[in-house]
Chain A
Amino acid sequence: MAIECLVLGAGQEVGKSCAVVTINGKRIMFDCGMHMGYLDHRRFPDFSLISKSSDFNTAIDCIVITHFHLDHVGALPYFTEVCGYSGPIYMTYPTKALSPLMLEDYRKVMVDRRGEQELFSNDDIMKCMKKVIAVDLKQTVQVDKDLQIRAYYAGHVLGAAMFYAKVGDAAMVYTGDYNMTPDRHLGAAQIDRLQLDLLITESTYATTVRDSKYAREREFLKAVHKCVADGGKVLIPTFALGRAQELCILLDNYWERMNLKVPIYFSAGLTIQANMYYKMLISWTNQRVKETYATHNAFDFKNVRSFDRSLINAPGPCVLFATPGMISGGFSLEVFKLWAPSEMNLVTLPGYCLAGTIGHKLTTGKPTKIDLDKDIQISVRCQIHQLSFSPHTDAKGIMDLVKFLSPKHVILVHGEKPKMASLKGKIESDLGIQCYYPANNDTVCIPSTCWLKADASKAFFRSSLNPNFKFVKTISEDKSNLVSKETEATSVLQVHDERVAEGILIVERSKKAKVVHQNELLLMIGKDKHDVQFAYCCPVQIGNLERTKGMDFALSKNVVSTSDECSWLHLLFAKLSTKLGGNIQDFGQHLQVDSIHISICLKDICPYRTTNGPQKESAVFFCCTWSVADVNLAWEIISIMENLDLSII
């Protein structure tokens, strides 16, 4: 069995995440994103690679969307409404609630502002979202008889999830974007320890290790506070969801703490509406925010009001969150034009800015003038503050997750090629896990686990679960203990419990395989057992005994009484146990080590006495029997016994 992963997007790049994975015949599409950097056919994944006949409903069993960012969900309405996919689509509740806002916002910007031909209509978005099945975290969803998926908390943005998928014995996780450290409003990614064949993980920050965010937060607050204290206006161009709420929690708390009365405004109705969603979905935030729901919902911002266009030129300080981010157009640009010329004002740019946007120009150089188009030029005299908050995990986080899950294979997506290469090397050398980072439209094939299923008997389970204790006495000298001059050898009894499951596999044609305990086998196949035993009558020297005074019990050698018998056996026991350790047992009439059985042989002619050893007068004979399992140990004991002199105590 194998898992096949076709990377349609985010292979060695960031943007249009889309991976189609085939596990044991089931095909899942993870994410269906669009690339924000392209305006031609490259903006969507090349869906034709999935099915030449464009029959996507038979080609794909389900689509899983990890979060509402456009590079993960942007192509979904196109795929369902234009390409005609109508199978199941899964996403978390917040993603289902917030994706249409993102999509509609994007569509509006494309069509209304840039005047492009629309790729999908508002109607398409609504129809598409109707097909979505919302899932809760950790809820096991049975997509069909064989395919199971489950979402795990991923941090990153509200509702972001990693998805686990399992078909038969093969299982995998697709992380989407995730964050291993909690932020102001979200928790850290969280997943169970799973048995995985494959982990597909993002690698945006494949080589960066980030410091704590608190220093940057403080810096941001200081800059904002200074600006408003001096009577300036702060413009924070941001997208409606995610960053806006995080910064708002930060500012709202700070305002409360510092008892500031300067108004904080939200620009479009969109963001106010977004806050409404955040309020209802507060259980998807982090623990600290979640606990506030009853008394004061953290997204019920106390100091935040909605902005009116007439307030742009109103005197006095204020803070304004305006869409879209990156100052790529729209309202944030409109405000920027008016506020940028004053050096009292501040523009804070949170997050990444695409090349070509004003945000990008502001952060890359220190321009004093920006050409909007041929005719309009804005002079920039305001302060610029860049905030590098990122809701992605860093290299350490990726390594931690890979190590925690210990999958058999790792595929890196959503990152830059050279950084991915270095991370791949690190994963392979540090963790010994095979790692790949395919380019777009490449396929990676990996083997998957396969379990043979068999019916096992009770006796087998019982024997497998039985403790198998081994006691080993080890003599260790405590070297570290320099204080005590006596080099006292401490004897440590070590107890080992190495349970070994042993059974017999029976395979019969056209029947389920069976596993039984070896004692059950013969009954099952209807055969009689044939015991194969070894025997050896071993002489042990007592030659010097006559000369030993006080040892008169053996004087009359020809009349060996029972008590003598026992005495010899005890003597042998004492000797053997010093040589063999604690494994030998004395049962009175015989000694035993595993299957080896040693008893005094009183016969004059024992059939197992094959050696022409010492005379009977100077030796006691011990009959030993054993079975094949203990052959080596038995011969070891015999060689000890043959070299032994029982009279020497």
Chain B
Amino acid sequence: MKFTCLSKGGNFYFPPCHIITVSGFRILLDCPLDLSSLMIFSPIPTHAFSTPELPTPDSVDPKRQKHERPIDSNELIRAQPWFKTVTSLHLWNVPFIDVVLISSPMGMLGLPFFSRVNGFRAKIYVTEVTARIGQLMMEDLVLMNREFRQFYGCEESGLPQWMNWEKLDLLPSLFREIVLGEDGAELGGWMPLYSADDVKGCMQKVHTLKYAQEVCYNGTLIIEAVSSGLEIGTCNWTINGPKRNIACLSSSIFNSSHAMNFDYHALQGNDLIIYSDLSSPVLEDVKDNSYYSAPTSQNSSTLSADNDQEASAELLLSTSESLEEMEKLNFICSCIIDSVKAGGSVLIPIGRLGIILQLLELISLSLEASSLKVPIFIISSVAEELLAFTNIIPEWLCKQRQEKLFSGEPFFAHAQLIKEKKLHVFPAVHSPNLLKIWQEPCIVFSPHWSLRLGPVVHLLRRWRGDENSLLIMEEGVDAGLALLPFKPMAMKVLQCSFLSGIKLQKVQPLLKILQPKFVLFPEDLRQLVSYSDTNSPAFFYYCENETLRVPSLKNSSELEIAADSVSLIHCRRLTEESLGIGRLKGEFSVTHGKHQLRSGSEQADSSQSRPPLLHWGSLDLERLLAVLEKMGIRGSVEQGNSNTDSENAGVVHVYEPNKALIEVRENSTIISASNESLSSLIFEAVDGILSGL
């Protein structure tokens, strides 16, 4: 098996991307987009024509730009944004990919770029819910991007202006790094966004699955999605091949308060675990938030890396994590209430469905508790469908929400909120009905978290000067860059991080329970997870763009033989070794990952009478003569003289009933007879003396 990490991703929104080769099949794990790189573009200017692009005094001297200095909002690229895909994936021949496994909606956003390639023939497996949510997210992206197209007009063919080397050279170093990567290789990963048709085409190629639904690829690989707990519908994949069982462990959450929990039991018993949960907060640079005067950074951080060695399964399932998450949400909620009480509006551009759903419930409760009548808006082209969708998928939710089904209540409160006119859902800011009922202060959920696309841009411009208003952002997003075009900001900013994977101290106990033989582990986490156990699995550490080869465990694979129907001929017992051998014949098939041998067609019968094909042992001439004599065949022995042959050949001349010759060497015998019947009689005699099969 071969494994290549194409990208270790960045955060929740940009999951890792790997490619593995199993049993000769190439499997792509996730196909994400790096949407945080959108931040180098300017959002659609409000007064585009009144603020012409004047050269700033600095840009006259490009050399001076290399120095570190705060980037000016004028330096944002004013063009229709391009999107950054996983660059290394372009180095692979797309038609050679056999299977694509998608573990989350975020891991799907880059897929239309590849599924539209001529010759793309891979089977794409996605859970039903991820497919639906992923499709909505892609459609939303296309719609939001359309705003740019309307503004900048149709794109020129070829590379856009900003991609010229001269222009790239003028970019601030931070931007250059985002565009080019460390060695300039990543420029090739930029592409203009796919179209709605590409999305449709992509979805037509998708095969949707339920959790724990077995699907068999090419008769050989059995692929199964098991819940990962990260979001509704996200999954970890297991791949069972004839030689090994692989579990692909993506970002997972043990205790979710909306999605079905991480089903780690289903990953037990796999030989190999590809650990690709890179969500660990240690990976991210801890941003200095003091500049944004976020009063809460200590409350909302997940940095609690006390490494408990004695952790056990109980630790894995402890609810402390979810309690902590709940606390965070409650805190956010209290900040929101404070803001609206002060007359400010709240803007929440977070892209996590689960967080949005929970916040909606909490906010409405808090508003009720403090008897505030503040409307909540969700402005997004896909919100209506997304919300409706979450109330019809009980099979994908956590236990507590499923219980609501059995007691006949809706799983999430938003349906009721909409009915009570506390929550209003609109596709866009310019929706006519929105203006009719718009009132401030209000609470608005709206994409996109990069603050470059979607309704959030307009609302942020509206409220950025209001010091009572509040913007809720996620940590891990470069806030400085994200807010650049909206400066100066009087608006408060709350940055918070949410649990988006397995905490480091849980890695070891988890692996102890899963008991794999091999673990593919990110090099970055090597130092952080020490494994000192004696019966620990073999660790292989991977980095981006390095191919690892994982040794095979067994040489042979299991064959299932239909005991009742396969023909078994020439059974022999080798007495000296208490060994039984027999020749096996049947029809071979590979179905559902199993090699099976069952009775073939009619020919099985005819082969029963077939003589043995393989002989071993040595032929004693005297004994041969005696056996021949019994059959009525007479002959005489002539011991060969070794001058002609290096081997000592003994020859039996047969004269009765007909002329024949048997040439016997140590490891071979040649029978030459004048007719068929005599020849077969002699063979019978020879066969009787030698051992054969």
Contact A294 B384 (CB under 8 A): yes
Contact A521 B212 (CB under 8 A): no
Contact residues, A420-461 vs B (CB, 8 A) = 449-458, 460-461
B-chain residues with CB within 8 Å of residue A532 when the two chains form the complex: 615, 668-669, 671, 683, 686-687, 690, 692
Contact B405 A528 (CB under 8 A): no
Contact B556 A455 (CB under 8 A): yes
Contact A136 B406 (CB under 8 A): no
**Nearest-CB residue, chain B, relative to A537:** B672
Give the interface segment out of B27-35, B332-340, B616-624: B616-624
**Nearest-CB residue, chain B, relative to A169:** B560
B667, CB-defined interface residue at 8 Å: yes
Could you give, for residues 652-688 of chain B, a 1 whenever the CB lies within 8 Å of some chain A CB and a 0 otherwise? 0000001111010001111111101001100100110
A640, CB-defined interface residue at 8 Å: no
B-chain residues with CB within 8 Å of residue A389 when the two chains form the complex: none
**Known interface pairs A610-B674, A628-B611. Does A451 touch B405 (Cβ–Cβ under 8 Å)?**
no
Contact B683 A628 (CB under 8 A): yes
Give the interface segment out of B81-89, B181-189, B596-604: B596-604
A-chain residues with CB within 8 Å of residue B588 when the two chains form the complex: 464-465, 499, 501
**Known interface pairs A140-B224, A294-B384. Does A521 touch B614 (Cβ–Cβ under 8 Å)?**
yes
A506, CB-defined interface residue at 8 Å: yes
Contact A610 B660 (CB under 8 A): yes
Give the interface segment out of B306-314, B389-397, B511-519, B524-532: B389-397
A472, CB-defined interface residue at 8 Å: no
| Docked pose: A276 CA to B410 CA in angstroms | 9
- Most central of A500, A518, A527 by chain B CB within 10 Å: A500
A283, CB-defined interface residue at 8 Å: yes
Contact residues, A70-116 vs B (CB, 8 A) = 93, 96-97, 100
**Known interface pairs A129-B406, A531-B667. Does A280 touch B672 (Cβ–Cβ under 8 Å)?**
no
Expressed in whole angstroms, the minimum distance between the Cβ of B7 and any Cβ of chain A is: 31
B-chain residues with CB within 8 Å of residue A515 when the two chains form the complex: 559, 561, 584
| Docked pose: A531 CA to B614 CA in angstroms | 8
Pick the contact of A454: B389, B555, B559, B658 (CB < 8 A).
B559
A-chain residues with CB within 8 Å of residue B214 when the two chains form the complex: 140
Contact B693 A521 (CB under 8 A): yes
| Docked pose: A96 CA to B399 CA in angstroms | 14
- Most central of A139, A277, A629 by chain B CB within 10 Å: A139
Give the interface segment out of B276-284, B372-380, B495-503, B574-582: B574-582
**Known interface pairs A280-B392, A607-B663, A625-B670. Does A454 touch B558 (Cβ–Cβ under 8 Å)?**
yes
Give the interface segment out of B352-360, B562-570, B629-637: B562-570
A229, CB-defined interface residue at 8 Å: no
Contact residues, A138-173 vs B (CB, 8 A) = 138-141, 169
| Docked pose: A458 CA to B214 CA in angstroms | 26
Contact A525 B574 (CB under 8 A): yes
Expressed in whole angstroms, the minimum distance between the Cβ of B275 and any Cβ of chain A is: 23
Expressed in whole angstroms, the minimum distance between the Cβ of B400 and any Cβ of chain A is: 14
B449, CB-defined interface residue at 8 Å: no
Contact A534 B587 (CB under 8 A): no
| Docked pose: A602 CA to B579 CA in angstroms | 47
| Docked pose: A453 CA to B556 CA in angstroms | 12
A297, CB-defined interface residue at 8 Å: yes
Expressed in whole angstroms, the minimum distance between the Cβ of B418 and any Cβ of chain A is: 13
A-chain residues with CB within 8 Å of residue B154 when the two chains form the complex: none
Expressed in whole angstroms, the minimum distance between the Cβ of B408 and any Cβ of chain A is: 6
B-chain residues with CB within 8 Å of residue A504 when the two chains form the complex: 581-584, 693
| Docked pose: A469 CA to B586 CA in angstroms | 17
| Docked pose: A410 CA to B527 CA in angstroms | 60
Expressed in whole angstroms, the minimum distance between the Cβ of B238 and any Cβ of chain A is: 11
Contact residues, A242-290 vs B (CB, 8 A) = 273, 276-277, 279-283
Contact B224 A506 (CB under 8 A): no
Pick the contact of A522: B395, B601, B616, B673 (CB < 8 A).
B616
**Known interface pairs A140-B212, A530-B617. Does A457 touch B676 (Cβ–Cβ under 8 Å)?**
no
| Docked pose: A502 CA to B210 CA in angstroms | 39
Pick the contact of A293: B389, B597, B618 (CB < 8 A).
B389
A509, CB-defined interface residue at 8 Å: yes
| Docked pose: A509 CA to B581 CA in angstroms | 12
**Known interface pairs A281-B392, A294-B384, A529-B614. Does A452 touch B672 (Cβ–Cβ under 8 Å)?**
no
Contact B561 A452 (CB under 8 A): yes
| Docked pose: A136 CA to B396 CA in angstroms | 9
B213, CB-defined interface residue at 8 Å: yes
Expressed in whole angstroms, the minimum distance between the Cβ of B319 and any Cβ of chain A is: 21
B-chain residues with CB within 8 Å of residue A283 when the two chains form the complex: 392-393, 395
Contact A506 B579 (CB under 8 A): yes
A-chain residues with CB within 8 Å of residue B388 when the two chains form the complex: 293-294, 297
Contact B613 A629 (CB under 8 A): yes
- Most central of B212, B556, B558, B612 by chain A CB within 10 Å: B556
| Docked pose: A532 CA to B586 CA in angstroms | 26
Pick the contact of A535: B211, B615, B672, B676 (CB < 8 A).
B672
| Docked pose: A629 CA to B613 CA in angstroms | 6
Contact A501 B562 (CB under 8 A): no
Contact A138 B691 (CB under 8 A): no
A-chain residues with CB within 8 Å of residue B668 when the two chains form the complex: 530-533
A-chain residues with CB within 8 Å of residue B581 when the two chains form the complex: 504-507, 521, 525
Contact B579 A507 (CB under 8 A): yes
**Known interface pairs A504-B581, A507-B581, A528-B616. Does A280 touch B670 (Cβ–Cβ under 8 Å)?**
no
A635, CB-defined interface residue at 8 Å: yes
| Docked pose: A457 CA to B557 CA in angstroms | 7
A-chain residues with CB within 8 Å of residue B245 when the two chains form the complex: none
Expressed in whole angstroms, the minimum distance between the Cβ of A57 and any Cβ of chain B is: 23
A508, CB-defined interface residue at 8 Å: yes
**Known interface pairs A451-B562, A501-B588. Does A294 touch B616 (Cβ–Cβ under 8 Å)?**
no
Contact residues, A368-399 vs B (CB, 8 A) = none
B411, CB-defined interface residue at 8 Å: yes
Contact B671 A533 (CB under 8 A): yes
Contact B211 A456 (CB under 8 A): no
| Docked pose: A505 CA to B673 CA in angstroms | 34
Pick the contact of A608: B209, B559, B580, B661 (CB < 8 A).
B661
B402, CB-defined interface residue at 8 Å: yes
B-chain residues with CB within 8 Å of residue A279 when the two chains form the complex: 392
A134, CB-defined interface residue at 8 Å: yes
B385, CB-defined interface residue at 8 Å: yes
A476, CB-defined interface residue at 8 Å: no
A-chain residues with CB within 8 Å of residue B687 when the two chains form the complex: 532
Contact A500 B618 (CB under 8 A): no
Expressed in whole angstroms, the minimum distance between the Cβ of B247 and any Cβ of chain A is: 15
B-chain residues with CB within 8 Å of residue A407 when the two chains form the complex: none
**Nearest-CB residue, chain A, relative to B576:** A525
A239, CB-defined interface residue at 8 Å: no
B-chain residues with CB within 8 Å of residue A537 when the two chains form the complex: 672
Expressed in whole angstroms, the minimum distance between the Cβ of A138 and any Cβ of chain B is: 4
Contact A450 B564 (CB under 8 A): yes
A350, CB-defined interface residue at 8 Å: no
| Docked pose: A293 CA to B561 CA in angstroms | 49
A507-B582, A610-B672 known, 16 other contacts, Cβ within 8 Å: A93-B395, A96-B406, A277-B408, A282-B392, A450-B563, A454-B560, A456-B557, A500-B587, A505-B561, A508-B580, A521-B614, A525-B577, A608-B661, A610-B673, A629-B613, A631-B676
Closest CB pairs A-B (n = 9): A501-B588, A456-B559, A531-B668, A451-B560, A527-B616, A608-B672, A294-B385, A464-B588, A138-B213
Sample 26 A-B pairs with CB under 8 A, ordered by A number: A136-B212, A138-B213, A139-B211, A280-B410, A283-B393, A293-B392, A450-B564, A455-B558, A456-B556, A457-B555, A498-B601, A501-B587, A504-B582, A504-B583, A514-B556, A515-B559, A518-B614, A521-B614, A525-B581, A527-B617, A531-B669, A532-B615, A533-B669, A534-B679, A534-B683, A607-B672
Give B residues with C-beta under 8 Å from A: 209-214, 224, 384-385, 388-389, 391-395, 402, 405-406, 408, 410-411, 555-564, 568, 574, 577-588, 595-597, 600-601, 603, 611-619, 651, 658-661, 663, 667-674, 676, 679-680, 683, 686-687, 690-693
